[in-house]
Amino acid sequence: MVGRRHSHFFFSLLSLPSHRITIPLYYRLLLLLCFPLALALVPPVPPSNYGGGGDGGASVLSLPRNKSLRFSAGAGAAFKIAIFADLHYGENAWTDWGPQQDANSDRVLSAVLDKENPDFVIYLGDVVTANNLPIPNASLYWDRAISATRSRGIPWATVFGNHDDAAFEWPSDWFSSSGIPEVRCPTANISSTGAEQCSFRGTPRIDLMNTEINNNRLSYSATGPKELWPSVSNYVLQILSSKEMDPVALLYFLDSGGGSYPEVISNAQAKWFQAQSQIINPNGKVPEIIFWHIPSIAFSKVAPKPNSEIDKPCVGSINLESVAPQDAEWGIMDILAKRPSVKAIFSGHNHGLDWCCPYQKLWLCFARHTGYGGYGDWPRGARIIEITEQPFSLKSWIRMENGTEHSDLILSS
């Protein structure tokens, strides 16, 4: 997260009016009449339209086999996922401190990957601190964040946090000497021609994602349907059984906003989830697991009091701040809580929280602050989740940078 709370109130105010727009009766009737016609005109969607292609025409799509994950063969095989949250690459690149944090983050990623050897990695947002990047291409830092996983041949997926496409925030001390501040663009890896290399605008979500997808065979990320704009990282992946084509679990990724737009999951995203899950998993036989960066307001409702012990049924090791939730709740939690197949939601954003707590029939879990960028000095680590088939189970624990393990928990069995 890092200090964007000041904008919370402002965005809450902004989002109110849209709620109150009343459509004149005449238009409502017209809409009502046109709706069935519009439905009839929508062409059937070929399966290959799903996800990463970026054609974005349709919201309800099926899953292509070649973008599926699979359990490895062998009795008792498990599918293990490492969650890297809040890496915050690229902080204060003009100081000695910033690049040192990135080197430290590289070390955490390697330590966790070597210890756990996961089948898959999820980058749970705030991969980069774009508001610190006075360069035109944040993908240079994004790429560094995924390189530890890529170099080990492990596939991964990414979702956006509130810092990934944020605009550059001018440090006030750049203005401390007289006159116009010196242009201080980091020159590393940029064929520098001077001022035009500093764009100060942030790299848009869609550019970050397309660069990742186009350059990486192992990326399972996708740009969601265009009608969910301005949110981008909305997609679903399936993990197939080692023997059959049956999915053992479905992983849903949602963009919880922030940076270039408010910190919310829109009602359109909620409806998209509902439509997808009805088509892919109509009878709810396949367990579903959800990933997004900013905790929803429901996390605040189940949170242990800040700085207090984490008592059962919650499980975790740090509880040292208040939940900093999304700006509003536009329907996603209601839909998820009513679907018994949804087992857990994993969020990052709060660096000083790493607990899981039950909420109705599902679990709400924080990841663990993984990167050295971003606020807080709590020891770094990564939440791991492990899925087994036959029988299905979903377990989780936290692996620290120094190799220790804690907060083991069975989320579903």
Residue 271, both tokens: 């409806």
- Given 30, 48, 187, 408, the residue binding ligand NAG (CB under 6 A): 48
The two beta strands, 156-159 and 381-388, are: unpaired
Distance of alpha carbon 108 from the chain centroid? 19
Give 174 or 378: the residue with its C-beta nearer to ligand NAG: 378
Residue 342, both tokens: 């949804």
CB of 393 to ligand NAG, least distance (A): 26
| Binding window for ligand NAG (CB under 6 A); candidates: 140-148, 161-169, 332-340, 347-355 | 140-148
Distance of alpha carbon 136 from the chain centroid? 23
Give 117 or 189: the residue with its C-beta nearer to ligand NAG: 189
Q: In what order do the strands lie in the sheet with 247-253?
A: 69-70, 235-240, 247-253, 288-291, 342-347, 362-366, 356-359
Q: Which residues of 358-387 are buried (b: 16+ CB within 10 A; e: fewer)?
A: ebeebbbbbbbbbbbbbebeeebbbbbbbb
Of 58, 40, 62, 221, which is closest to residue 139 (Cα–Cα)? 221
Provide the mask over 313-352, with x wherever binding to ligand NAG is found by CB under 6 A and - wherever it is not. Answer: ----------------------------------------
| Binding window for ligand NAG (CB under 6 A); candidates: 120-128, 139-147, 223-231, 351-359 | 139-147
Residue 114, φ and ψ in degrees, nearest 5: -70, -35
Residue 159, both tokens: 């979702």
Running DSSP on this structure, what letter comes out for residue 232?
-
Provide the mask over 81-120, with x wherever binding to ligand NAG is found by CB under 6 A and - wherever it is not. Answer: ----------------------------------------
The angle at the Cα of 220, spanning 215 to 225, to the nearest 5 degrees, equals 100
Helix (H, G, I), strand (E, B) or coil at 288: strand
CB of 13 to ligand NAG, least distance (A): 35
CB of 73 to ligand NAG, least distance (A): 22
Running DSSP on this structure, what letter comes out for residue 331?
S
**Distance separating alpha carbons of residues 359 and 303, to the nearest angstrom:** 10
Give 155 or 257: the residue with its C-beta nearer to ligand NAG: 155
- Given 141, 273, 292, 372, the residue binding ligand NAG (CB under 6 A): 141
Provide the mask over 345-384, with x wherever binding to ligand NAG is found by CB under 6 A and - wherever it is not. Answer: ----------------------------------x-----
Positions of E strands within 108-159: 120-124, 156-159
Q: Which of residues 159-188 bind ligand NAG (CB under 6 A)?
A: 188
- Given 56, 64, 230, 331, the residue binding ligand NAG (CB under 6 A): 64
Give 211 or 350: the residue with its C-beta nearer to ligand NAG: 211
- Given 95, 151, 187, 189, the residue binding ligand NAG (CB under 6 A): 189
- Contact status, residue 146 vs residue 128, Cβ threshold 8 Å: no
**Distance separating alpha carbons of residues 288 and 345, to the nearest angstrom:** 9
Provide the mask over 387-406, with x wherever binding to ligand NAG is found by CB under 6 A and - wherever it is not. Answer: -------------x-x-x--
- Given 101, 211, 234, 281, the residue binding ligand NAG (CB under 6 A): 211
**Distance separating alpha carbons of residues 98 and 326, to the nearest angstrom:** 28
Positions of E strands within 176-325: 235-240, 247-253, 288-291
Of 289, 281, 354, which is closest to residue 317 (Cα–Cα)? 354
Give 278 or 402: the residue with its C-beta nearer to ligand NAG: 402
Distance between the two ends of the chain, CA-based, in angstroms? Answer: 32
CB of 70 to ligand NAG, least distance (A): 14
CB of 47 to ligand NAG, least distance (A): 8
CB of 397 to ligand NAG, least distance (A): 13
Q: Which of residues 259-278 bind ligand NAG (CB under 6 A)?
A: none
Running DSSP on this structure, what letter comes out for residue 51?
G
How many residues at the interface with ligand NAG, by CB under 6 A? Answer: 17
Residue 144 contacts ligand NAG per CB under 6 A:
yes
| Binding window for ligand NAG (CB under 6 A); candidates: 55-63, 70-78, 138-146, 388-396 | 138-146
Residues that bind ligand NAG (CB under 6 A): 48, 64, 66, 137, 139-141, 143-144, 188-189, 211, 215, 379, 400, 402, 404
